[in-house]
Structure 1
Amino acid sequence: MAFIKEESEDVKIEETFSVKQEDLQEQTDLMVLKEETQQWNEMEEKQFEKQQEITDEKPTLTEKTSSHGRPRNSKSACNFTCRQCGNRFSRKHNLQVHMRIHSGEKPYTCQQCGQCFCTSGNLVVHMRIHTGEKPYSCSQCGKSFKQISNLKVHMRTHTGERPYECQQCGQRFYTTGNFAQHMRIHTGVGLYPCLQCGKSFHQSANLVAHMRIHTGERPYSCIQCGKSFKQNSNLEAHMRIHTGGRIFTCTQCGKSFAQKQDLEIHIRVHTGEKPYTCTECSKSFRYKSTLKHHMISHTGEKPFTCAQCGKSFTTKASLMNHMNGHTGTTVFTCDQCGKSLTRKDTIRQHMKTHSGEDCFRCSECGKGFKCKRSLSTHMKLHNGDQSSQN
């Protein structure tokens, strides 16, 4: 039905690549298969159409009212049968509306975009896309939805209900959509593989987001600072920096963060947790980036290369300090004499001239020097290089 297609666009899932737990909960609000949506929206549509039917088809005194407010015969007989698919209805009007599915008749047209619908109820729900109306609100968290079916699925995040169970591994799911995606793990059907690295995904949107790792594309840009992101969710989290929306607060020290993952990393300061362990020496680290930098000490890798002279460095900071030597940038100033230097290590050595510290000591005679260059010159005397004396 056109209505189902339209609503699926309304509840389109945000593109995600690494799906976090909170992202999975958001998906359960949005991913509703056709049969689930149709079942619950029929109640909404018929409730709306009942107002139109009352003037043409008033119930007799012998009729009772259903739990959904629709008049029905005392025997609830389904006397009207569709000759094409066999579906049965208790009222002739409902059969007539149903027949539009087979005939393709769509008598209700949206005046704003021209899309047509089988029922007036579908048109009413569609109009909420243009008006932004979300009449169905969650009583627990206040989140609003355009359709009652989406509210029903969302409520499972509060109740914990997972009515769909995988018969192969026992895992349970909130929606038939999530269940169908999970089954691809067992069947291998419907997976979307990356042609560059071979990794497979359950959704085409996830593959699209993944491909940005290979292409480097960052389509989501901050209008305030210009920073770009691969995922829209990352941009939304970044925007909290500008708006001051630090909604994740540490219960131990009160420090606030714009993203939940930043809070989780910060908590390790209090717990002492170091989840990243070096496979070479078993040393553990609090941050993944620290482990990555540590591994260079084992591999000897120097991934940061100067484009001007070709010299390589183990860290980006070391490369930046080196580049100052080419550009002539003076960013480090001695607070004792005011001398400016281009490199951080150079300013440290210079400070020793004020402190009198001799950090470079000759292993042959024990004489100390303030800089490494002076020690190198001195060592030539022990090695018999007389050119240094000239």
Structure 2
Amino acid sequence: MSDPEPCRMKHTEDPEEQRDLIEENEENEELSEVEEKNNVKTGEKPLSHFQTKQKDLKKRRAKKSFTCTQCGKSYTTKRNLEIHMSVHTGEKPFTCDQCGKSFVKKGRLKEHNKVHTGEKPYKCSHCDKRFNQSTSLNRHERNHTGEKPHTCDKCGKSFTVKASLTDHMRVHTGERPFICDQCGKSFTKSTHLKEHIKIHTGEKPFTCDQCGKTFLSNSAMKTHLRVHTKEKPHSCSVCGKSFSQLQHLHIHQKIHTGVREYVCFECEKTFITAAHLKLHRIIHTGEKPYPCTACGKRFNHPSSLLKHTKHVHCK
């Protein structure tokens, strides 16, 4: 076993902080010596002397608790507390000289620099995909393992990443913090707002290489491609019918479950989808929103317009 790399002491003019760093390094060295002496390996039962020594060191560290006055979170060293305080102050002292993006920690900047160098040192143990950050690798590997460690305490739904849980919690709280400055519409996710803004700008950056049709999002374009490939990856477990889109499968499954949660307040008729309810309500309002582009005649249902066009204008 090679000797550990000598610890490089960060220069500081604060005697208290320097003392904390020295003591922490001494404790780390002491703990390493105990581990090496007892030759503790993963999966083996630790020796009682090591267990006692480790416990004593942890107790000593626990006594030196530095607590954040803003949120109450505690740290073993003053330096770690200072790093944490930047969460509240917004300070990001480490700046990328390539793109100007700033970070709270030097380690985060170092990870970010790999975006510019193209370095991807982290390889998935299940497939050949590589990543420039260890956190990205960890998230990806959960796709293989099925691990979902972040669970909603309201409904029990689990997620692979904490950010997804945070987004999901807004379903329960009703919070929609991302607001369009053009029309005032609000969203639970920033990505949804970004896609929505393209409606105002008219931007459709994703183009189908089969037919040239353009789309607001990459996911919408990929879904559209199934029209060309005839792929239907989503199958009903009850009757085996397949669908190109997951949302179409969910709608279909309501036929089997009998769920019809959309109710007309005029006549109390129920529907499987909001779109079906919207079409039905036109009967009560007398609205005819579907005009014929050839003669101007209007219809209350798209199927009626299609029938009219076929029989009147396509003879």
TM-score normalised to structure 1 length: 0.47
Corresponding position of 2:16: 44
Distance 1:213 1:242 in 2: 26
Corresponding position of 1:259: 189
- Residue deviations 1:48-67 (CA, integer Å, cap 9, x gap): 9xxxxxxxxxxxxxxxxxxx
Distance 1:116 1:328 in 2: 58
In structure 2, the CA distance between the partners of 1:256 and 1:299, relative to structure 1 (3 Å rule), is same
Give the aligned residue type for 1:225. C
1:134 has 2:106 as partner: no
Corresponding position of 1:315: 245
Contact 2:65–2:74 (8 Å) recurs in 1: no
TM-score normalised to structure 2 length: 0.55
Q: How large is the RMSD of aligned CA atoms in angstroms?
A: 5.4
Counterparts of residues 96-175 of structure 1 (less than 5 Å):
104=30, 114-115=56-57, 126-128=64-66, 133-134=67-68, 147-148=78-79, 151=82, 154=86, 158=91, 162=95, 175=105
Query: What stretches of structure 1 of length at least 5 have no aligned partner?
Result: 1-33, 49-93, 106-112, 368-390
In structure 2, the CA distance between the partners of 1:145 and 1:262, relative to structure 1 (3 Å rule), is farther
Give the aligned residue type for 2:206. Y
Query: What stretches of structure 2 of length at least 5 have no aligned partner?
Result: 1-6, 32-54, 284-299
Distance 1:320 1:237 in 2: 21
Counterparts of residues 210-289 of structure 1 (less than 5 Å):
210-289=140-219
Contact 2:122–2:132 (8 Å) recurs in 1: yes
In structure 2, the CA distance between the partners of 1:331 and 1:241, relative to structure 1 (3 Å rule), is closer
- C-alpha deviation, 1:223, in angstroms: 0.9
Q: Larger RCO: Structure 1 or Structure 2 (Cα < 8 Å, ≥ 6 residues apart)? A: 1
In structure 2, the CA distance between the partners of 1:283 and 1:143, relative to structure 1 (3 Å rule), is farther
Instruction: Pick the structure with greater CA Rg.
Output: 1
In structure 2, the CA distance between the partners of 1:184 and 1:247, relative to structure 1 (3 Å rule), is closer
- Residue deviations 1:98-149 (CA, integer Å, cap 9, x gap): 99689949xxxxxxx74369xx9x776x413xxxx115x7xxxx99985346
Counterparts of residues 1-390 of structure 1 (less than 5 Å):
35=8, 38-40=10-12, 43-45=15-17, 104=30, 114-115=56-57, 126-128=64-66, 133-134=67-68, 147-148=78-79, 151=82, 154=86, 158=91, 162=95, 175-178=105-108, 180-181=110-111, 182=113, 191-320=121-250, 323=253
User: Could you tell which deviates more after superposition, 173-182 or 206-215?
Assistant: 173-182
Distance 1:100 1:329 in 2: 65
Give the aligned residue type for 1:248. F
Distance 1:279 1:149 in 2: 51
SS of structure 1 residue aligned to 2:137: helix
Contact 1:194–1:207 (8 Å) recurs in 2: yes
* Aligned length in residues: 254
In structure 2, the CA distance between the partners of 1:186 and 1:324, relative to structure 1 (3 Å rule), is closer
- C-alpha deviation, 1:228, in angstroms: 1.6
SS of structure 2 residue aligned to 1:266: helix
SS of structure 1 residue aligned to 2:143: helix
